[in-house]
Amino acid sequence: MHCINDTRIAEIWIVGLQMNTETAILLFFSILTMYIFILIGNCLIVIMVLSRVQLHSPMYFFLCSLSLCEIIFTSNLIPLLLYTLLNGGAAVYLSSCLGQYYLGASLAVTECFLLAVMSLDRYLAICNPLHYTLVMNLKLCLELNMVSWTTGFASMLTVVILMFQLDFCGPNVVDHYFCDFAPILELSCSNIFVIKTEGTLWTFFITIFPSAFIVGTYVCIILAIFRISSSTKRQKTFSTCSSHLSVVCLFYGSLIILYVIPHQGLSSLNHKCMSLIYTVVTPLLNPIIYSFRNQEIKLVLKKMLTDLKQLLTFKLAFRMT
C-alpha cells in the first residue's frame, strides 16, 4: 500500500502509560527513584572495578561491562517514560524514535550475550578451576566483550536500515512508553513482511540460543556444586548461582514472552507492564544480585567510603586552619 497524497509522518506521539494524574505522579516518583538507584549502583560498580586492583578479574570485568550497558540502556528509555508520565505523552521525531529503538534494541542484544558470557565465566571458574586462569585470560576476556558489543549493534543495523526505508503514513500514535519494533511497524503503509520476518528471526536467535546456553552452563554448575565437600562453601556457591539465575530468568523470560511467543490476547497495558521488567526491574536488581551481595564488593565499597570520609574530614580540617 502506498501513502495517500504522498503524506508521510515526520513526528509521532508516544502515548506512554495512560492513567489518572495521581497514579501517574506516584509512578513517576517511583520510577525516578529506581532510575537514580540504577545509575548509582551501576556507576559504583564501574568505578570500583576500574579503580581497585583486587577487582581486576574476569568476573568483575564482565560485570563492569554489563553495568555500563545497563547505564546506557536505561538512560535511553527511562527519561522518555518519565516525561510521558508527567505530560500524558510525548511528541518525538520519527528519526529520533527509530534512533531510540536502534540503541535500545542493540543494548538489549548486547546484554543477552554478556549474560551468556558471564555464565560461561562462572562455569569455567566452578567446573574447571585448575585451568580457569589459563583459559579465561585478558585476551579472551577482551575478545568476548568485543564480540558481545559488536554483535549487539551489528545485528540490529540491517533491521533499522530497512525500517528507515519504510513509508510511514499514519496514524502517528505509538501505544507504548518507548519506540519498540511492533508499534513502529504499525505506523507503516509499506509492505512489512520482510522486515517483520527478519526481526522475528533475529529475536528468536538472540533470546533462545543464549538463554539455552545459560541454562546448560548453570545445570553443569549446580551438578558441580553438589560435588563440593564443604557444606558451607556449597551453600554459599549455590546461593550465589541461584540468585544470578533468577535475574537471568527474569530478563530472558520477559523478552521471550514479549517478542518470541505469539501473544494476540495480551493487552496493551499488560505488554507495557511486562516491558517494565526488562527496562526497569532487572537493571535495578543486577547491581544488587551480582555485586552488593558479594563479599569482595562489600569490602571494596566499605574501603572507598572510608577513604572518602577521611578525605572530606581532611579538607574540612584544612579549611578550618
**Extents of the domains making up the chain:** 9-312
Q: Is domain 9-312 classified as CATH 3.90.226.10? A: no
pLDDT at position 266: 67
Low-confidence ranges of the chain (pLDDT < 50): 1-6
pLDDT at position 13: 95
Query: Which of 219, 285, 220, 221 is CA-nearest to residue 251?
Result: 285
Q: Cα separation of 257 and 34, whole Å?
A: 23
Q: Cα separation of 73 and 281, whole Å?
A: 13
pLDDT at position 240: 72
Contact 194, 33 (CB under 8 A): no
pLDDT at position 81: 96
* Grid cell locating 167: 513509508
pLDDT tens across 245-269, in order? 888 888 998 898 888 887 666 678 8
pTM tops 0.75? yes
Q: Cα separation of 27 and 125, whole Å?
A: 41
Residue 117 CA: distances (Å) to CA of 110, 214, 319: 10, 9, 49
Contact 39, 71 (CB under 8 A): yes
Contact 250, 26 (CB under 8 A): no
pLDDT at position 308: 81
| 210 beta partners | none
pLDDT tens across 77-109, in order? 999 999 999 999 999 999 999 999 999 999 999
The torsion defined by the Cα of 117, 123, 128 and 134, in degrees rounded to 10, comes to: 20
- Please give the single-letter amino acid code of residue 77: L
Residue 234 CA: distances (Å) to CA of 5, 130, 277: 69, 18, 30
Task: Please compute Rg for the chain using Cα positions.
Answer: 22
The torsion defined by the Cα of 161, 165, 170 and 172, in degrees rounded to 10, comes to: 30
pLDDT at position 72: 97
Phi first, then psi: give them for residue 299, nearest 5 degrees: -65, -40
Query: Which of 277, 280, 274, 269 is CA-nearest to residue 30?
Result: 280
pLDDT at position 5: 44
Phi first, then psi: give them for residue 19, nearest 5 degrees: -165, 175
* Grid cell locating 110: 548486547
pLDDT at position 85: 94
